[in-house]
Amino acid sequence: MKEAVNDYDESHISTQAIFDFTNFWNYIVELNGDVKGKSLSQFLRKIQELSKNPLYAEIIANFKTSKVNFYGIQNLYLELTHKEEAKRKQIFKIINESSVRFFKPHKKFDIELRCEMRAGDKVTRQTFRANDIFELRDRANLIVYSEQKKIDQREENNYKEEELEKFKGFCSLTEVISQIINTLNNLNFNGYPELETLEVTNQRTCVVDTDFFCVQNRFDSLHEFKEQLEKILEAWNNSVIEAYKYYYELTYLKGKDFWKVEKALLTKMENKSKT
C-alpha cells in the first residue's frame, strides 16, 4: 500500500496517512503479541515499555490520523486487492495457455500476446503488448521475492508452491521475450537484410507470421527462436567486420545504410535480367 498510494489517482489518502496507519498497526501487533494471557498490570507495563520506543513516539497522533482515514485506507486496500487478483489471473492464464507474435509497428519490435480469459460462461480474448507483460513481470517478481523472504523467515506463505512456480515461469517467459525483442531491434539497427521475412527454425514462415505458444509453463519454441536470433546477430556482425577489412568503402556505411545498398543492387540486377 505504501508503494501503490502514490499511483492511486482516485485516492485522497496521503502516503503519510499510510505510514501512520502502518506504524499504529505494528504497535498493536507488538502489544497484542506480548500480553496474551497476562494480567492488567503486565499489560500496562508493556504499554510503558513501548512508549519509550522512538518508533512509537507519535503513536497518539498515528491513532488519530488512522481513525480519520480508516475508511479511505480500507477502500484503497480493497481496490488494490481486486487489482492484485486480476493481475494474478492474467499471469496464470498467460503461462498456462497463450500465443506470442512479434511485429514491428514503427521503428522497434513489439509483441502481440493473446489469451482467453474466462469469467463464468463468458470468454473474452485479451491482447497484451510488451509493456503490459513487463508490468505484470514486475508484479510477479515482487511476489516471488516476498514469498521467498517468508520461506527464509519461516513465515506462512500466501501462495502454494505450484502457484509460485507459475510466477517464476512467467518471469522467465517475459525475460525470453525481452531478449528476443532486443535481438530483433539490434538486427534491425545493424542493417540485417530482410529481417521481417526471416525464416523461423524448422518452419517455412517468416517471423512476423509465426505464432509461438506457451502451454503449461513451457515455451520451448521461444527459447529456440531466441538462440537462433542470437547466432544470426553474431554471424551478421562478424560478416560486417570482415567486409570492412576488405572493402574500406563500406566503413562509410552502417546500420540501415546497408538496406539502401541492398535495394540498389537488387534493382540493378532486376533491370539487368530484363534486358
Q: Supply the angle between the helices 15-35 and 40-51 in degrees, to the nearest 10.
A: 140
pTM beyond 0.85: no
Between the alpha carbon of residue 118 and those of residues 82, 131, 167, the distances in Å are 16, 23, 19
Residue range 37-41: mean pLDDT, rounded: 75
Residue range 153-168: mean pLDDT, rounded: 84
Taking only the tens place, the pLDDT of each residue in 167-210 is 999 999 999 999 999 999 999 888 887 776 666 655 545 676 78
**Three-state secondary structure string covering the chain:** CCCCHHHCCCCCCCHHHHHHHHHHHHHHHHHHHHHCCCCHHHHHHHHHHHHCCHHHCCHHHHHHHHHHHHHHHHHHHHHHHHHHHHHHHHHHHHHHEEEEEEECCCCCCEEEEEEEEEECCEEEEEEECHHHHHHHHHHHHHHHHHHHHHHHCCCCCCCCHHHHHHHHHHHHHHHHHHHHHHHHHHHHHCCCCCHHHCECCCCCCEHHHCCEEEECCECHHHHHHHHHHHHHHHHHHHHHHHHHHHCHHHHHCCCCHHHHHHHHHHHHHHHHHHC
Name which of 59-68, 191-200, 261-270 the model is least confident about.
191-200
pLDDT of res. 202 = 52
What are the structural domain ranges in the chain?
83-274
The mean predicted confidence, pLDDT, of the chain is: 82
Rg (CA), the chain: 28
Residues of the chain with pLDDT > 70, as a percent, come to 86
Is pLDDT of 3 > 70? no
> What single letter denotes the amino acid at residue 48?
Q
Residues of the chain with pLDDT > 90, as a percent, come to 30
Decide: 104 and 94 in contact? Cβ < 8 Å.
no
Q: Name the most confidently modeled range: 16-30, 51-65, 92-106, 260-274.
A: 92-106
Is pLDDT of 96 > 50? yes
Is pLDDT of 94 > 90? yes
Taking only the tens place, the pLDDT of each residue in 119-137 is 667 777 889 999 999 999 9
Residue in the structure block whose three cell numbers are 507488538: 30
pLDDT of res. 34 = 65
pLDDT of res. 199 = 61
Taking only the tens place, the pLDDT of each residue in 199-246 is 665 554 567 678 999 999 999 999 999 999 999 999 999 988 888 888
pLDDT band for 9, please (50, 70, 90 cuts): very low
Is residue 264 exposed (0-12), middle (13-18) or buried (19+ Cβ within 10 Å)?
exposed
pLDDT of res. 10 = 46
